[in-house]
Amino acid sequence: MSAPWFVDAVFYEVPVYAFFDADGDGIGDFAGLTDKLDYLEWLGVTCIWLLPFYESPQRDGGYDVSDFKSVLPRYGTLDDVQQFLNEAHRRGLRVIADMIVNHTSDQHPWFQEARQPGSPMRSRYVWSDTPDRYRDARVIFTDTQDSNWSWDPVADAYYWHRFFDHQPDLNFDNPGVRDEIEDVIRFWLTLGFDGLRLDAVPYLYERDGTNGENLPETHAYLKRLRSMVDTEFNDRLLLAEANQWPEDVVEYFGDSDEFHMAYHFPLMPRLFLALAQGDAGIVVDVLDRTPEIPDGCRWGIFLRNHDELTLEMVSEVERECMWQHYAPEHSMRKNVGIRRRLAPLLGGDRRRIELLDVLLLSLPGSPFLYYGDEIGMGDEHLLDDRDGVRTPMQWEDSPNAGFSTAEPGDLYLPIVSSQEYSPAVVNVASQGDDADSLLHWTRRMLSIRADLPVMGAGGFLTIPAADPAVLCFERIAADTVVLVVANFLDAPVRCALDVDDPPTMVLAATPGASIDGSVITLDPYGWAWFSGSRP
Ligand code: NOJ
């Protein structure tokens, strides 16, 4: 049986509002996304992940939904979504959408009704007379919330929310909620989406005496959703957002009967930490600690996304080290994380950007690129919340970076203005004209990877290296092997690898990379992909 499509997929995460504004109102839209499909096809990504585009007061980037089956009018209409899907599919690109199952906006009509005394909607949310229930559940947005309960004077009760206080959690003990959410998923898959990323799935149920995460009831409901998707649709993807330890995340794959994919959250900060420390050991540790996942399931690997670079999955000492190294200014820190983009995090150093990108493309899982990182876009960390990593895509060196014809003051967020990252320095058009640009490098790497099925379905084995700065592993298929080596140090290395008969054909590498017997030589921050055949 051939592997499911998402095993070989390269995902590209993009908020509709940030990519291209076709109607000139200052905010990106579906027509704009459709206009830019040629670019994404040219780049070589294979699946687009759209952030929430539903009606919403937009107090949490659209993760505060007020109507699950609608399109925010500023982004276009349902017809525009359909048109976008058709055009993407015509080019062989797949599209998945974000879906928020844990909570709604407080502006959702369900919540507005539920607040009214005696309303039949009341039990669609979680209420209490005291803020003392479920004390063992942690507060997630610790920088803005001090409790998971907020008082509602109309309802004369406290309501439960795991995120912002304007995002009441749905009550999954209510059969109506379970049916409605299932129907929302059915609705978008019927329209033609190739899958859905289900947001914040660990928190669906609340139970006394537990921390309200990863509960059996939650898994049971998620399995029900999967069963519906398998019964009613073909070839669709359910992707879990569960920021948890690997041993807890694997539970979301079930017995190949829950999610097809889940992000590998603990791996991500360790790649940055290893780079800060010049020591790959911590990456090897987390990979060794990652359990096997069931057949047909897949990790999602990412470096950056629309949120802060979360540091929930590292120790306090490691977090402090990450903060000192990557977020020296307090304004760069957000909640338990860092609100910066990939290029500024890595000091704009092309060698370090390529090193992490190469690992993104070769670690066992499907890579998720974040829009703009392919050109090394910068951020505006002084903007509110996580807005600094959600600024308009920089297409060219022109007013508004070619993103929109609106007045600059009417853009949904300002264009990056710093000297190093402004559109005059970082944009698609000029990098498109330069064969040595990061954009062309990314495209070349995606193209090489596309010819290596072993990077998809292949097995994975870490290879001990004599120098702790070197990360080495193999991706293995029946008849091929790709050896991946990466030097986390800003100094050349030469060291022995504990591998017999290593492959020697260079697929891609930094200039000084070579292999002689089992001894590898790499430039500062050098890396290489070697391939060979296995009898
Ligand atoms: C996870 C999303 O990635 C994040 O952006 C959002 O703020 C939270 N869920 C809460 O909705």
The alpha carbon of 137 and the centre of ligand 1 are apart by a number of angstroms equal to 17
pLDDT of amino acid 399: 87
Give, using CA atoms, the residue closest to atom 4 of ligand 1.
307
Condensed to tens digits (0 to 9), the pLDDT of residues 235-254 reads 999 999 999 999 999 999 99
Centre of ligand 1 from the C-alpha of residue 100, in Å: 9
- 69-125 tens-digit pLDDT: 999 999 999 999 999 999 999 999 999 999 999 999 999 999 999 999 999 999 999
Task: Reply yes or no on whether the pLDDT at 523 is more than 70.
Answer: yes
Nearest protein Cα to ligand 1, atom 5: 307
Confidence label for 502 from pLDDT (cuts 50, 70 and 90) = very high
Model confidence at 29, pLDDT cuts 50, 70, 90, reads very high
Atom in ligand 1 nearest the alpha carbon of residue 103 = 11
> What residues flank ligand 1, with Cβ below 6 Å?
60-61, 63, 163, 199-200, 241, 306-307
Angle at the Cα of 503 (from 502 to 509), degrees rounded to 5? Answer: 115
Ligand 1 pocket test target in 104, 170, 307 with most atoms within 8 Å of CB:
307
Report the separation in Å between the CA atom of 63 and the middle of ligand 1, taken as the mean of its atom positions: 6
Asked if 423 and 431 count as a contact pair (C-beta separation under 8 A), the reply is no
Asked if the model's pLDDT at residue 534 lies above 90, the reply is no
Specify whether the CB–CB gap between 69 and 187 falls below 8 A. Answer: yes
Active-site residue, from 241, 308, 354, 387 = 241
Average pLDDT estimate for 146-173: 98
Does residue 529 carry a pLDDT above 70? Answer: yes
Contacts of 299 (CB under 8 A, 6+ apart): 261, 262, 263, 264, 290, 293, 364, 365, 366
Q: Distance between alpha carbon 120 and the CA centroid of its chain, in Å? A: 37
Is 90 exceeded by the pLDDT of residue 309?
A: yes
Task: Ligand 1 pocket test: pick from 163, 244, 385 the residue with the most ligand atoms within 8 Å of its Cβ.
Answer: 163
In this model, does residue 535 exceed pLDDT 80? no
Name which residue sits closest to atom 6 of ligand 1, judged by CA.
Answer: 63
- The one catalytic residue in 21, 80, 169, 199 is 199
Q: What is the mean pLDDT of the chain?
A: 97
The CA distance from 368 to 13, in Å, is 7
Query: Is it the case that residue 1 has pLDDT exceeding 70?
Result: no
Collapsing DSSP states into helix, strand and coil, what is residue 236?
coil
Closest atom of ligand 1 to CA, residue 63: 11
User: What mean pLDDT comes out for the span 208-225?
Assistant: 98
Cβ–Cβ under 8 Å, residues 78 and 71: yes
- Asked if residue 169 has pLDDT above 90, the reply is yes
Q: Whose CA is nearest to atom 8 of ligand 1?
A: 63
Ligand 1 atom closest to the Cα of residue 167 is 11
Please say if 199 is a catalytic residue. Answer: yes
Residue 24 has pLDDT above 70, yes or no: yes
Q: Can you count the helices (H) and strands (E) in the chain?
A: 16, 22
Q: How confident is the model at residue 526 (pLDDT cuts 50, 70, 90)?
A: very high
β-pairing, 480-487 vs 527-533, is: antiparallel
Q: Does the structure show a pLDDT above 90 at 2?
A: no
Measured in Å, residue 202 CA sits from the centre of ligand 1 at 13
d(C-alpha 242, C-alpha 236), whole Å: 19
Q: What is the pLDDT of residues 321-350, one digit of tens each?
A: 999 999 999 999 999 999 999 999 999 999
Mutate to test the pocket of ligand 1, among 63, 64, 368, 384 (most ligand atoms within 8 A of CB): 63
Beta-bridged to residue 522, according to DSSP, are 493
Q: Find the 101 Cα to ligand 1 centroid distance in Å.
A: 11
In this prediction the pTM is 0.98
Do β-strands 366-370 and 505-509 pair in parallel, antiparallel, or remain unpaired? unpaired
